[in-house]
Amino acid sequence: MSRAPAWRLSVGVFCASRMGSDPGFAQQSAALGRMLAEREVRLVYGGGAVGLMGVVADAAIEAGGQVCGVIPRSMASREVAHPGLQDLRIVETMAERKTVMIEESDAFLVLPGGIGTLDELFEVVTLDQLGLIEKPLTLVDYKGFWGPLLGVLDAMAGAGVYRKDWRERIGVVGDVDSCEGLVEGWLRGR
C-alpha cells in the first residue's frame, strides 16, 4: 500500500468506543486528533464514529488531517463506521482489524479504553517482544487511568514472569500535551 505524500508518519491510536465517565477523556482525544493533523501525521484508528474513537477522528478531520479507519464488517453498524473518513477499511474479523492497523502504523498511542483497547495494545506489545515488529507504543495515562495496568505489569516483572526490559519498552505520558515531544521525536527519526 502506498502512502500519499501528505503525511510524514502514521500513528495508530487505540481508545474506547464509549465516551467514559470523565469529560477529560474526550478533551484529550480531541487534542490528540488535532495535534496529529497539525503535524501532518496520519491517524490510524478503529474506524468508529462513536465514543472516544469518533472524537479523535472528528478532531483530526476538522483540523485537515489524514485519517485511516479500520473496522470489522460486523461492527460497522454497531460502532457506526465513520462516514467522513478519506480511507475506511472494512475487514472481516477483529484479528484482521488489528493486523491492518499494526501494518499501517509507525507508532502507537493508547488513550483510555476498555477490553478491545487492551486487546489491541497487548497485540502490539506481544509482537514487539517477539521481535516481529519494532514500533513504539505509549500509554496516555491521563489522571492515572493506566496506573492499575502498569501496577500489574510491574508486579509481573517483579515476580520474574515478565522481563523488566519488556515493561520498560511501554512508554507512559501523563497527557496528550506530553505526546507532542514523542511525535516530534518519531518524525525526526524517519
In a domain, 55, yes or no: yes
Helix (H) or strand (E) holding 147: helix 147-158
Of 91, 51, 96, the C-alpha closest to 72 is 91
In a domain, 160, yes or no: yes
| pLDDT value at 40 more than 70 | yes
Type of residue numbered 86: Q
Of 173, 7, 15, the C-alpha closest to 182 is 173
Residue 48: φ, ψ to 5°:
-85, 160
Q: What is the full DSSP assignment across 94-126? A: HHHHHHHHHHH-SEEEE-S--HHHHHHHHHHHH
In a domain, 127, yes or no: yes
Q: Report the domain count for the chain.
A: 1
Give the model confidence (pLDDT) of 47-96 as tens digits: 999 999 999 999 999 999 999 999 999 998 776 899 999 899 999 999 99
In a domain, 47, yes or no: yes
What's the gap between Cα 186 and its chain centre? Answer: 15
In a domain, 103, yes or no: yes
Please tell me the pTM assigned to this model: 0.94
Rounded CA separation 31/149 (Å): 24
Q: What average pLDDT score do residues 160-183 get?
A: 94
Structural domain for 133, as ranges? 9-185
In a domain, 125, yes or no: yes
Which of these ranges, 80-84, 110-114, 121-125, has the smallest mean pLDDT? 80-84
| pLDDT value at 3 more than 50 | no
In a domain, 190, yes or no: no
Q: What average pLDDT score do residues 91-116 get?
A: 97
In a domain, 2, yes or no: no
Q: What average pLDDT score do residues 10-33 get?
A: 97
Give the model confidence (pLDDT) of 125-140 as tens digits: 999 999 999 999 999 9
- CATH number of the domain enclosing 63: 3.40.50.450
User: Across the beta sheet with 87-91, what order do the strands follow?
Assistant: 87-91, 67-72, 41-45, 9-14, 107-110, 137-140, 170-173
Side-chain-side CA neighbours of 73 within 13 Å: the count stands at 3
For residue 165, the 8-state DSSP code is H
The whole-chain average pLDDT of the chain stands at 94
Residue labelled with grid coordinates 490510524: 44
